[in-house]
Amino acid sequence: MNTSITASPNGSSDASFEALLTRAGASGGLDSEDLRNAFVPLLEAAIALQEEGFVAPLRGLQQLRVDDQFQLGFAVSEPLFPKNNRAEILRVEKPVSKAFDVIGELQVTRSLDDGAQHVASLDVVEPRVEITRPCFVGGYETWEHQVGHHDEITDVFSFGLLLASLALGLDFRVRAEFEQFVKHRTNLFMLQPDLHPVVARLIVDCTEPRRTFRVRDLLSVLQRLRNYRDQPLDFDLSQLGGATSGPIPKRRSVIQQALRDRLFEINRRNRLVYFSPTQQSLNLTVGSVPLVLDVRNLRADQIATWKAPLSETILSGKVLALNTLLRFEDAPYLPGVLDKLISQARRDRNEYGMAQLRLVVCFLRWHNLKEVQHERINSPLLLLPVELTKKRGVRDSYLMSVPSTIAEVNPALRHFLKQTYGIELPEVVDLNAESVENLHARLTAQIQASEPGVTLIKVDKPQLELVLQRARLRVDQYRRRSQTSVRSTPERLYSYSYAPGDLRPLGIQLFEHKVRYRPPETLRNAVPDLHRAPKDLPPIVVGGAD
């Protein structure tokens, strides 16, 4: 058993913790990488001990050993069993009130002579004072030690103290230095500006006096310390040009812009970049295709694309009746999708104050040459805000209107292209003043400037065969779905009622449907011909042992 708990790599003590502390004190705290080297072995040893049902001997510094590589470990001959004093813990942690939480106690002293005010934290209690609430007791001990309790959560606190001590270069046995730590515990950068934010967070989380809010286990501490470099830092202003100097309004706009850009999440779930048709979108081009038998009977002007006269009608601000544009008779899914779009837009307006319904004037189909070269990415390029309304009638009609002719360039795509390729796109395009062709030319020019080998082709003629095929697929898909949805809930097939005036009993229906034998359709015709076997029977194969 001893072998497993002698955590110091070679078991010898070449340097003492004091020596390490002195070095740390001289340089104002150890570097993050040194901290990692020192503490990972200690944590691993402590976790191994806890797995065997012991606790780490982390009360005071007596059991700590430091080897020649400045790695920490224990020098224990006798394993330390957990101590349980739940009653005391409950007494100390008993909340003052259910309504509020006491998170600290301060003593404010005001001198009557000169009016000076002195604020002292009462979180560090004097030695040999009875513990009445979660607090700091000074040194490398915890209040739980004082009340005779020692478990895994206690170890987390002890470990936090050691980490803080070395990271800040403070000797906690010196009361003034300990009080300094407690005073700045929530903002350790006051003591050590170069402290890595993840390490600082770790110290704060581990040295929480209230056990409920402390980190629960050393394993997560180990993982955080091991991977401290991989964890995302908080917003770092110093890395943002122009955010810390210059006139305040300009700084603000820089910071706001950076904050906004952080909101873009460019991954495959971002439908503004990786677009794929869903129930929340409707392809007007596909919906406008008449399902003719032969593609040669299809004329390009029957299909809705962004061309005159359709684009002119839309931009003129007139209300466009979608019934003239879309083929409701061919595409039975249209009313459902349109209703869904309308209700979604209404909900957005109520919840967010603005509708997010957009008409995509054109798509950009492109390849990200820096990542997956062969993948075709389909992103909306120009988004025109539109409003959809439903006018009830014998045949409901759907109306689309455009409040403004200013289309926005897909912000996620614009941000992505700027970040990746430095391509600058305008934020908005007034479609009355500037045509899509212009935008195409601008985009082409920018692409050609960086790589002449890449071309951007404008597709303004619909590929009739493809569009027709898509339209057929979409209708088929809808039919299949609606059929399966009926079949999956057979109970709904029964229309029954036991109301006195309207008796349509269910029992007889269930009996007819499930219990009564009905000769199959197939057999009615097949049986008379049974004796005349078909000429070439296909061979029958039966499965084997499995």
Partner 1 sequence: MSAAQIASQSAVVRNELLRSTYRVDSEAHPEIVGPALAAAKALGVSVPISVYQSEGESSSNAALIFVPDEAIVLLSGSIVELLTVAELTAIMGHELAHFVLWTTDHGDHLVADRLVNAVANDSYDDAFIETSRLLALSTELFADRGALLACGDLHTAVSSLVKVSTGMRSISAASYLRQAEELLAADSSATSRITHPETVLRSAALEHFAAGTDELSQALVKVMYGSDSVARLDVLGQQRMESRTRDLIDSLLQLDWFRTEPIVAHMRAYFSQGDLLLRYPVSVTRSSNVETVGNSENLHNGVDDATKKFLCYVLLDFATVDPDLMPASIVETAVLAHALGFGNEYESTVKSELRLKKKELFTVFAEVAKRTAPRKTQRSGTHTSQDPVLNESSGDSVKPIDTKGGAQ
Q: Contact residues for partner 1 (CB under 8 A)?
A: 498-500, 503, 505-508, 510-511, 514-518, 520-523, 526, 530, 533, 535-537, 539-546
The structure tokens 């600058």 sit at 424
Minimum distance, C-beta of residue 480 to partner 1, in the bound complex (Å): 15
- Which helix or strand (DSSP H or E) is residue 380 part of? strand 376-385
**Is the CB of 452 or the CB of 520 nearer to partner 1?**
520
Q: Which is nearer to partner 1, 1 or 537 (CB)?
A: 537
Query: CA 319 → CA 87, 183, 283, 342, 398, distances in Å?
Result: 75, 66, 19, 16, 10
CB 406 within 8 A of CB 428: yes
Minimum CB separation of residue 531 from partner 1 in Å reads 10
Distance in angstroms (rounded) separating the CA atoms of residues 300 and 307:
11
Closest CB to partner 1 among residues 230, 546: 546
Judge whether 341 and 357 are in contact, CB under 8 Å: yes
Q: How far apart are CA 282 and CA 390, in angstroms?
A: 16
Q: Residue 314 is inside which H or E element, if any? A: helix 310-315
CB neighbour list of residue 80: distance below 8 Å, 6 or more residues apart: 49, 54, 55, 56, 57, 150
- Closest to partner 1 by CB, 19 vs 526, is 526
* Beta carbon of residue 221, minimum distance to partner 1 (angstroms, whole number): 44
Rg (CA), the chain: 37
CB of 542 to partner 1, least distance (A): 5
Rank residues 96 and 533 by Cβ distance to partner 1 and give the closer one: 533
Tell whether the torsion through CA atoms of 289, 293, 294 and 298 is positive or negative.
negative
CB of 532 to partner 1, least distance (A): 10
Structure tokens at 216: 């629960």
By DSSP bridging, strand 320-321 and strand 387-391 are unpaired
The H-or-E segment that residue 121 falls in is strand 117-121
Measured from the CB atom, the residue of 96 and 515 that comes closer to partner 1 is 515
Q: How far is the CB of 487 from partner 1 (least distance, A)?
A: 8
CB of 519 to partner 1, least distance (A): 9
Alpha helix ranges (H) inside 169-283: 175-183, 197-206, 218-226, 248-263
Min CB(528)–partner 1 separation in Å: 13
* Cβ–Cβ under 8 Å, residues 93 and 212: yes
Nearer to partner 1, 247 or 507 (CB): 507
Closest distance of CB 385 from partner 1, Å: 48
CA 140 vs CA 185, 189, 212: distances in Å: 15, 21, 20
Indicate the residue among 395 and 535 with the shorter CB distance to partner 1: 535
Closest to partner 1 by CB, 309 or 500: 500
CB of 317 to partner 1, least distance (A): 53
Cβ at position 503, least distance to partner 1 in Å: 6
Pairing between β-strand 502-504 and β-strand 106-110 as defined by DSSP bridges:
unpaired
Q: Is residue 427 a contact partner of residue 412, using CB atoms and an 8 Å limit? A: no
Contact criterion met (CB below 8 Å) for 165 and 21 = yes
Q: Which is nearer to partner 1, 318 or 480 (CB)?
A: 480
Q: How far apart are CA 96 and CA 98, in angstroms?
A: 7
One-letter-per-residue 3-state SS of 253-274: HHHHHHHHHHHCCCCCCCCCCC
Taking the least distance from each CB to partner 1, the nearer of 263 and 533 is 533
For 293, the 3-state DSSP assignment is coil
233 or 493: CB nearest partner 1: 493
The least distance separating partner 1 from the CB of residue 204, rounded to whole angstroms, comes to: 53
